[in-house]
Amino acid sequence: MNTGLKGKAALICGASRGLGLACAEKLAGEGAKVILLSRNKDLLFERVSNLNNRGVEARFIPADLSVIEEIPAIAKKAEAFWGNVDILINNAGGPPSGPNLSFNADVWIHSFKQNFLSAEELTKLLIPAMAESGWGRIINLTSITVKQPVENLILSNSIRMAVTGWAKTLSLEFAAAGVTVNNIATGYTLTERINELAAVKAEQSGRDAEDVIEEMASKIPMKRMAEPEEIASAAAFLASDAASYITGVTLPVDGGYIAGV
């Protein structure tokens, strides 16, 4: 399959580890130039050095996506590397998990900034140039929580629905300009996020985190969690020319977890 990704410039958010890093590696493997963004400058430097040593054109931007005032500077920096950004992958750390009534307004506001506003603001700044060039991709990494609420994850269950509504609305406006806007409803995937979620559940129930992880996996029809590369493959597909007629969708990559048709 010709992905058409060679030479395209991609900004991947939340890319120092986990799903974002896997997406950066996958797009780079298809010949894209990649910009990795996250808060940890040292880790980003290490990741980008690894990519550069393998001949990949890679750069990094250290930034905290929950600080909305910084978003214009991020967009400017990203465009300064190679001109336009052709592909934007919106992604950041997940909101905290816990009992439904346990989060105060500050936590809700911080999560809304990190998991909704960052994507909305960054996209608003980068999508006009994509439309002008006649080609672009916005890919939002969300969660199975947009199709089926998950226990302990009221922040994700709520805020990611806003991303879904926003993305569909935007996809309609930019469809004719050759820019697609899609979401991935990520299922349980073996990254540090799973350890975070399992630790909270383990504390609540007095069990080992390992038991909790095993139990989570047992509820997935495939009886295993995803590898980050399996989510990244879907992102690379949505970024590719092969997905040129797909826009406004939420693609579950969940091993069959979502119990709906």
Ligand X SMILES: NC(=O)c1ccc[n+]([C@@H]2O[C@H](COP(=O)([O-])OP(=O)(O)OC[C@H]3O[C@@H](n4cnc5c(N)ncnc54)[C@H](OP(=O)(O)O)[C@@H]3O)[C@@H](O)[C@H]2O)c1
Report the interface residues with ligand X, using CB under 6 A. Answer: 14-20, 38-40, 43, 64-66, 91-94, 114, 141, 143, 186, 188-189, 191-194
Strand order in the sheet with 9-13: 58-62, 33-38, 9-13, 87-90, 136-141, 179-186, 250-253
Nearest approach, Cβ of residue 156 and ligand X (Å): 6
Closer CB to ligand X, residue 59 or residue 193?
Answer: 193
Closer CB to ligand X, residue 18 or residue 136?
Answer: 18
Pick the closest to residue 43 from 192, 190, 143 (CA basis).
192
What the block records as the tokens of 257 is: 């977890």
184 vs 26, 86, 237, 238, CA distance in Å?
15, 18, 11, 9
49 and 76 Cβ atoms separated by less than 8 Å: no
Task: Say if residue 154 is exposed, middle or buried (CB neighbours under 10 Å; 0-12, 13-18, 19+).
Answer: buried
Helix residue spans in the chain (DSSP H):
18-29, 41-53, 71-82, 105-112, 118-133, 154-174, 192-205, 209-218, 228-239
Nearest approach, Cβ of residue 6 and ligand X (Å): 25
Closer CB to ligand X, residue 89 or residue 130?
Answer: 89
Nearest approach, Cβ of residue 146 and ligand X (Å): 10
Nearest approach, Cβ of residue 191 and ligand X (Å): 3
209 and 199 Cβ atoms separated by less than 8 Å: yes
Closer CB to ligand X, residue 57 or residue 64?
Answer: 64
Nearest approach, Cβ of residue 112 and ligand X (Å): 12
Closer CB to ligand X, residue 174 or residue 186?
Answer: 186
